[in-house]
Amino acid sequence: MPFGLEVTQVVVSKQLQSKLLTVAYKYPTSGHLGVKKTNDRLTRHFYWESVGKSVEQFCRIWQRHGMGSSPWRTSLIKLPIINNVFSKIAVDIVGPLTPCSVFGNRYILTEINFASHFPLAFPIKTHTVAEVV
């Protein structure tokens, strides 16, 4: 934590410490960020005696022994090879953007070609079907 930063933390009981460590480090969405970042993530909101030591022990054990037994691991699958340009594309709309352009465009229609990874972007005023098509 930066010096002088005022933080409100919840004091955590012993029963919940391992659950918080699991959520902060092991879940796929947590990113397995390592000791320092996991400690920073937890201490932004929570406190218990020797939280830093708990985080360090948990991360070290998980890094050494736990990754092979992760319940989220699965076998790799073969992905289809896309050879033909524009045979498969992804389309999305970004916005509304503020401030809008001098032409009144508040959205961007984006497209990416899966074969070539070539991106396209088109400014549009609204995100209606009539405007996009």
- Enumerate residues 6+ apart whose C-beta is below 8 A from 12: 20, 46, 47, 48
Q: What is the pTM of this model?
A: 0.43
Cα gap 47→17, rounded to integer Å: 9
Q: How sure is the predictor about 110, in pLDDT bands with cuts at 50, 70 and 90?
A: very high
Is the preceding omega at residue 2 within 30 degrees of 0, hence cis? no
Q: Kind of pairing, strands 10-11 and 46-47?
A: parallel
Distance between CA atoms of residues 89 and 64, nearest Å:
41
Q: Which residues contact 24 (CB under 8 A, 6 or more apart)?
A: 30, 38, 41, 42, 55
Residue pLDDT, tens place only, 4-55 = 777 788 888 888 888 888 877 766 656 667 788 888 888 888 888 888 888 8
- End-to-end CA, the chain: 50
